[in-house]
Amino acid sequence: MIKIFSALTVFLLVSLSVNAGEPLIVAHRGASKDAPANTIPAFQLAWEQGADAIEADFHLSKDGEIVCIHDAETKKVAGTNLIVRNSTLAELKQLDVGAIHGEAFKGTTIPTLAEVFATIPENKKIYIEVKCGAEIVPVLLREIDQSGLTKDQIVVIAFKQEVIQQLKIKAPHYKASWLCSFKKQETGEITPSLDTVLKTLKAIEADGLSSNTAVPVSVIEAIGQQGYEWHAWTINNLKAARRMQAMGALSITTDVPGVMRQNLISVELQ
């Protein structure tokens, strides 16, 4: 069983390090507090607000195009309900996914992966979250190859283990992190267990773990000792962000990248 550490334990554990570096600020679906999530306006605004990277969600369309949308269907963002995997790019492009966020964004359409890539400035990154299955991997790698981006600008993330596994088999030079949501059970146990996490990371050859803030300190410490990276999401509260920073998060994913850029500073630990 994994135990939740007290605030004092966290402080003492973190204090063993010389200092907690400044994590990358990753814009969750772009600057999604201020613009429609997973759209070009949201990504452009994220860069204007000083984000180090953007995070974006992707599905594969019926005609084999990679499109940027969180859900497997379009009802939530467009009103009209299309199933992404059963729809062509042309059909998906007819939808307005901006009007729901306000008149200023009316007419905004679902972008392709290539269109999202085109927004990325030199030396900035994209965290590509695959929301469908491993069938997207060959198409994804082709799109990356055609993008002109360097390998250091690309990180692939997914909850589905087979996506990370297939990505690392076909293109081990790209970084890939397994997404994991930790939950506290009625018994007080935090799942998944440390053993499960370590076995999973090894089996799929992931470079790291990307988790919610419920991750136990013991997991962070253990995966770090095994050489894995740790990234945290989705954090809009500065107090929580500073806590994740002090615990060693290499990146903090947020809906408010501008706020984080202005207020999240390096924490010196003596």
- What pLDDT sits at residue 20? 53
Task: Give me the residue label for tokens 């050489």.
Answer: 227
**pTM to 2 decimals?**
0.91
Apex CA 110: angle with CA 109 and CA 115, to 5°? 100
230 contacts: CB under 8 Å, gap ≥ 6: 208, 209, 210, 211, 215, 220, 223, 224, 248, 249, 250
Apex CA 121: angle with CA 117 and CA 124, to 5°? 90
Domains of the chain: 7-58+124-264 (3.20.20.190)
- What pLDDT sits at residue 270? 31
Chunk the chain into consecutive blocks of 10 residues (it has 270) and report each block's average pLDDT, rounded to whole numbers: 39 39 95 98 98 98 98 98 98 97 97 98 98 98 98 98 98 98 95 98 98 97 98 97 96 98 64
Coil vs helix vs strand at 24: strand
- What pLDDT sits at residue 264? 85
- Summarised one tens digit per residue, pLDDT across range 36-84 is 999 999 999 999 999 999 999 999 999 999 999 999 999 999 999 999 9
- What pLDDT sits at residue 268? 41
- What pLDDT sits at residue 15? 39
